[in-house]
Amino acid sequence: MDFNAENLKKLRPLSGDGSKLYIETYGCQMNVSDSEVVLSILQRDGYRYTERIDEADVILVNTCSVRDNAEQRVLGRLREFKPYKRRKKALLVGVIGCMAERMKEQLMEREQLVDIVAGPDSYRDLPRLLRQAGDGSRSVNVLLSQEETYAEIAPVRLDKNGVSAFISIMRGCNNMCSYCVVPYTRGAERSRDPRTILREARELFDAGYREVTLLGQNVNSYRWEQDGHSTGFAALLDAVAGIDPLLRVRFSTSHPKDLSDEVLHVMARRENLCRAIHLPAQSGSTRMLELMNRKYTREWYLGRIAAIRRILPDCALSTDLIAGFCTETDADHRDTLSLMREVGYEFAFMFKYSERPNTKAARHFADDVPDEVKTARLTEIIDLQNELSLQSNRRDVGRTFEVLIEGVSKRSDDRLFGRTSQNKVVVFDRGDRRIGEYATVRITDCSSATLIGELL
């Protein structure tokens, strides 16, 4: 007998065999996208998705290692699964994602809480790992790959709005920012075959989706080479945007050193490429940027901002900032505040520096900014960003925007919410409008987080 996949299936029923799978996702958008790939792989193997943890036969936790508090939260959460395990002896708990990669041994040693550990490149192996764990031996696969992109796997969408979806276009990171654990947990950078990306985007559009976000740790270094032909990020973006003018396209994350004018010109040409760029600065001090191994200076970063302003005058800007990196002085911190003012960010993700084991910073620099100082600086950064967001929103009052409707407002069934091309949330009275449609909305009021509008 030929032992191909079909024949193997005949020999043995699908290992999932109707078992119920519950997934909890922590961390970045890439993890959300990965959970959708995991669900696809396991559904094919006979598992059924459930949103109810109390009926689960398998619990998977997709985890993040970027900061210590993210890891602590998951470790606490794993303890909360104990009673479920007590009630259902056959229940399997798996830790997948970045923590699996970084903490394999520790996880396996933890009070019998974890049965499976699978790193970001071993999700195709989950059916086997689960089978093995079901037979009573604990299972680990944390091999990283140079090639894995899960290119042809059609993710099962976990978001329920049916309007916007993530498409992963590359994996891993080669940048080696000195504070960052991602290159160690997600491995080397590799790009996904553009044909599979386009197919996925088109299928989403045909299924009614109206917005896709192309995801990667550093999307601007996307590159696919085949038969002497090379596709870079600008060409990929252009092709995805070409699927239909009604399909909005976003992308994240851009590394400032790789954001090219070519990409900005493609955006300017295509209105459905959204006017929002996430360009993590991390710090406004050139001395810090050097220690962080970011490979640009404050001036160079501001030069990229100037190019965006010139080519895309209506583009919103957001950033990531780290407070209290090794040796950061008050003067360095003030450079960050002045950079924020100079750019006038619409939005920011702001963090205290958290030392990650084995990174370059952990090995070579002392984590020497006291926690109280980190906290005080972070508070100043957050307060300033709230001010900047409010100023930006106030400038929008009286203007009119095309809003893609994503859902019903949490506060009131009579109101809908959606986003502008600039990625700002707008809430407005529903009228006769429906989720997934575009609406023209005039902004009448705002807070620092939300725009309030009326249908035109």
Which residues here bind ligand 5AD, judged by CB under 6 A? 66-67, 179-180, 280, 282, 320, 322, 351, 353-354, 356
Q: Choose among 63, 77, 74, 58: nearest CA to 16.
A: 58
Complex with ligand 5AD: residue 179 or 428, whichever CB lies closer: 179
- Rg over alpha carbons for the chain, rounded to the nearest Å, is 23
Query: Alpha carbon 39 to chain centroid distance?
Result: 17
- What's the min distance (Å) between Cβ of 191 and ligand SF4? 15
Nearest approach, Cβ of 45 to ligand SF4 (angstroms)?
A: 31
Judged by beta carbon distances under 5 to 8 A according to partner kind, the member of ligand SF4, ligand 5AD, none in contact with residue 81 is none
Pick between residue 184 and residue 205 the one whose CB is nearest to ligand 5AD. 184
Residue 369 near residue 353, CB atoms below 8 Å: yes
Query: Between residues 56 and 182, which has the closer beta carbon with respect to ligand SF4?
Result: 182
As measured in angstroms, the least distance from the Cβ of 12 to ligand SF4 is: 40
288 residue type, one letter: M
Identify whether 253 is preceded by a cis peptide bond (ω within 30 of 0).
yes
251 makes contact, choosing from ligand SF4, ligand 5AD, none, with CB < 5 to 8 Å by partner type, with none
State in angstroms the smallest separation of the CB of 251 from ligand SF4.
14
Is 173 annotated in a binding site? The answer is: yes
353 binds, among ligand 5AD, ligand SF4, none (CB under 5 to 8 A by kind): ligand 5AD
Cβ nearer to ligand SF4, comparing 133 with 177: 177
User: Taking the complex as a whole, how short is the minimal distance between the CB of residue 217 and ligand SF4, in angstroms?
Assistant: 4
Residue 98 annotated as lining a ligand binding site: yes
Which residue, 194 or 280, is less far from ligand 5AD as judged by CB? 280
Closest contact distance (angstroms) between CB of 280 and ligand 5AD is 4
Residue nearest to ligand 5AD (CB): 320
Residue 322 touches which of ligand SF4, ligand 5AD, none (CB < 5 to 8 A by kind)? ligand 5AD
Helix axes 194-206, 233-241, angle to 10 degrees: 20
Give the tokens for residue 343: 């750019």
Q: For ligand 5AD, give the closer residue by CB, 112 or 375.
A: 375
For ligand SF4, the closer of residues 92 and 181 by Cβ is: 181
Q: Whole-number minimum distance, CB 63 to ligand 5AD, in Å? A: 14
- Among ligand 5AD, ligand SF4, none, what does residue 435 contact (CB within 5–8 Å per kind)? none
Q: Which does 356 bind (CB under 5 to 8 A by kind): ligand 5AD, ligand SF4, none?
A: ligand 5AD
Residue 274 is labelled as binding a ligand: no
Among ligand 5AD, ligand SF4, none, what binds residue 175 when CB lies within 5 to 8 Å by partner kind? ligand SF4
Rounded to whole angstroms, how far apart are CA atoms 71 and 140? 19
Determine whether the annotation assigns residue 446 to a binding site: no
Q: Name the residue nearer to ligand SF4 (CB basis): 320 or 402.
A: 320
Question: Given the DSSP bridges, would you call strands 451-455 and 438-446 parallel, antiparallel or unpaired?
Answer: antiparallel
- Which listed option, ligand SF4, ligand 5AD, none, makes contact with residue 173 (CB within 5 to 8 Å by class)? ligand SF4
Distance CA 65, CA 97 (A): 9
State which residue, 186 or 190, has the beta carbon closest to ligand 5AD: 186
| Beta pairing class for 58-63 and 92-97 | parallel
**Min. distance of Cβ 256 from ligand 5AD in angstroms?**
11
Task: Dig out the tokens for 75 from the structure.
Answer: 């470790």
Give the type of residue at 122: S
Q: Minimum distance from CB of 320 to ligand 5AD (Å)?
A: 3
What is the binding site for ligand SF4 (CB under 6 A)? 173, 175-177, 180, 182-183, 217-218, 255
Annotated binding site for [4Fe-4S] cluster: 28, 64, 98, 173, 177, 180
Annotated binding site: 28, 64, 98, 173, 177, 180
